[in-house]
Each structure stands twice: as C-alpha cells, then as structure tokens.
Amino acid sequence: MVQTAVIDLPSTDSDSDYYRCWIEWFINLEGKEYFCDVDEEYILDRFNLTNLPLEVPHYHKALDLITDRLPNTPMSDELRGQIEQSAIHLYGLIHARYIITARGLVKMLEKYKRGDFGVCPRVYCSQHSLLPVGITDQPNVKGVKLYCSRCEDVYNPKSKKHALVDGAYFGSSFPHMLFQVYPTLKPAPSEQRYVPRIFGFKIHAIAELHRWQADQREEQKKRLGIASDS
C-alpha cells in the first residue's frame, strides 16, 4: 500500500504571494516534480470530475482549496488537515485524467523532453528518458514507477519522495497514449543484451561443452566396460 506523506500547506502571506495559486505551490513541492499543472478550466468542468465526489472525502472543500476558492473561515486543525490531504488526493486523480488529454499530453511531453523524469538505469538504453506510469489505476495500491520505451520495462524512482507518490495519479495508460499520439518519438526496441561470460566464453556455451564432455566420458566408459560413476 502506498504511504501518503503529510505535508504542510502555505499559511503565511509571504508564501501566498510567492505562489500565485494552490496548484503552482503543489507542483513545486519537493517530490512532486513529476506532476504538471492542470488547467483550471479542466478542473472546473464537472464532466471531467465524474465519480470523483464518491472517492474523495470533503470533496467540495478540497475542490475549493485546489481552485483557490476555499473561504478563509475558522476550522479545527484536524479538519483542515483532512481537507488538505483530500485536496492532494483529488488533484492526483484529476491529474491522471488530464494527462491523457491533448493539452495534458503536450505538457507532459515538454517535461519528458527536458528529462524531468530521469533516465533509464539500464546500460544498453544509453540514458533514454523515462516516463511516469502506474502499475494499476486503483489508488493506494502501488507507488509510481518509471517506464522506459526503449527496453519496455519499468523501474522504481531513485528518490524516496517520488516513490511515495501514488501511481494512480499517472495511470497505467499514460506513456502508451503519449506514443500513440506522437509515434515518431517512440524509439526502436533495444536489441542489445548483456551476455554472461567466463574467461570470454558465454556461460551457456561452457555448460553445453561440459555436458558434451560428460556424455563423451560416459560413452567411453561403456565401450571399455567400466561402470558409470552414478
């Protein structure tokens, strides 16, 4: 199960002035670099938020917080903390839907080209850029992984803060949707494979040689009438 890190929202006037809106503040947090900014018009379109009110506690207040419409009314620290966490969860679920739209793909493509998601750790992929992906679309199951389109495998993020991000906030379809829309960006699969060797000989070739030698010894023993070692 994914562990959600508790974070503090800006509460001072200086913080509020520095970040123009909640979304800008959120995507600039350490560990949230994989996220892009979702257009407010998309968030305010109720069609795009279908079924989300059933999945997020304090949905309406969380939505107001994301869109900077939450009234500055007194509330308990406990309630405020719940609303803050709901806002993060809601934004993540909206983000997963947004990044497979035309506008969302463009924004994530820019991050991909900048290398914001890191490079593949596999030697033969030659530092090919990665893309975030969810193993499942179900929230609170698996953290985000990084997909390499060259070796077509997934890897854990290097940063623990990135690893805490829910994979459902990116979804299982995003990288593949990106290459469907921009097919020229998809590289040819890597054909290079590491071959284990001992003293320059492939291990499987050595094993075949040993089996052949063993068979030859057994045949020689049979011809000479010597009992087998087994």
Task: Please list, residue by residue across 189-208, b when 16 or more beta carbons sit within 10 angstroms of its beta carbon and e when fewer do.
Answer: ebeeeeeeeeeeeeeeeeee
**Amino acid identity at 161:** K
Chain segment 152-202, per-residue pLDDT in tens: 999 999 999 999 999 999 999 999 999 999 999 999 988 888 888 878 877
Q: Is the pLDDT of residue 225 over 80?
A: no
Q: Which tens digits make up the pLDDT trace of 66-93?
A: 999 998 889 999 999 999 999 999 999 9
**Average pLDDT of the residues in 199-209:** 73
- Check residue 7 and give its pLDDT: 42
Give the separation between CA 221 and CA 215, rounded to whole angstroms: 10
- The per-residue pLDDT of the chain, averaged, comes to 89
